[in-house]
Amino acid sequence: MTKVPLIRPREQHGLILSDSLEKLYADYDISNLKYGERGDALGDLYEEFTESAFLSSENIYKFNKNYKDKTIEFRLLHSICSPYVDKIEKLQILPVNRRDSGGLPKTDLSILLNKMVKINLSIKQSVAKNVTAAEFDVATIRKEVKLSDPKLITLLEKFQRDNSAINFSKEEKESMTKLLHKKKKDLVRWILTGSIKKNAVDNRIANHILMYKLDKKEHTLKSFNSYSVEKHIEKLIKKTAGFGTGLSWTYATGSKGKKIQFKCPVY
């Protein structure tokens, strides 16, 4: 078998990178973009970078040969694929359609390994400690998460109307946490993936999260974390924040009083 040549590595924030990420930063002109434009561009950039890591025959070769390679592209592929397969015999990038409502799916990149294992990646990048996961009105939350307790609905509507729990009494905060307890896994799973189903077949429903942590000043890559949605849910619901969901509950300026915005901690 022909040996695949290795890409010349370099170091950035302690990570060994190839030139491909630097080229993408130049192609997207990140350093010259304004704040709002930069965030959108970085989202597209890291989706493209992630896909390129999986389309690399070099990375697949090294994975199958059990190389201990330290380049970020290989570490990326290895961290996502190794929990599911030992060898990559075939890797396909699957198309991801829009939601039935016309909105964007939670899955940014869908990968089929060995014609059997489907990994639906939700790809995030952030310089902050929390990243926006979703934003919905209470009517949609009630329908999609199948909430029926009228007291819980009333409290959710109060939170939405007031934009926070600032007007909640101690008893109301405790009641919200208690009433959400049985439904919090479903709520968090729906916010992160777009479905309350644990093993959804639809590849628009994310089952794996990839988080890129960026330097706040330069917006360059510092590190990344990769974990299954289910492991992430278990970690979140152990926290007391967000009425036991582990999420930050807030609002976006444009939908103040009309929707609840949920933010997820960046691990």
- Mean pLDDT value across the chain: 90
β-strand 221-228 against 130-136: which pairing, if any?
unpaired
The Cα–Cα gap between 97 and 203 comes to 9
Range of the domain at 258: 130-195+235-265
pLDDT at 149: 96
| Domain-located, residue 18 | yes
156 and 99 in a common domain: no
Q: What pairs with residue 153 in β-bridges?
A: none
Q: Is 254 helix (H, G, I), strand (E, B) or coil?
A: helix
Closest by CA to 133, choosing from 262, 251, 254, is: 262
171 and 134 in a common domain: yes
pLDDT at 252: 87
247 and 181 in a common domain: yes
The Cα–Cα gap between 21 and 220 comes to 9
146 and 206 in a common domain: no
140 and 38 in a common domain: no
118 and 213 in a common domain: yes
96 and 146 in a common domain: no
Above pLDDT 90, what percent of the chain? 73
150 and 61 in a common domain: no
181 and 84 in a common domain: no
Q: pTM of the full predicted structure?
A: 0.88
pLDDT at 15: 60
b vs e for 229-261, b when ≥16 Cβ sit within 10 Å of the residue's Cβ?
Answer: bbebbeebbeeeebbbbbbbbebeeeeeeebbb
| Domain-located, residue 51 | yes
Domain count, the chain: 2
| Domain-located, residue 114 | yes
Low-confidence ranges of the chain (pLDDT < 50): 1-9
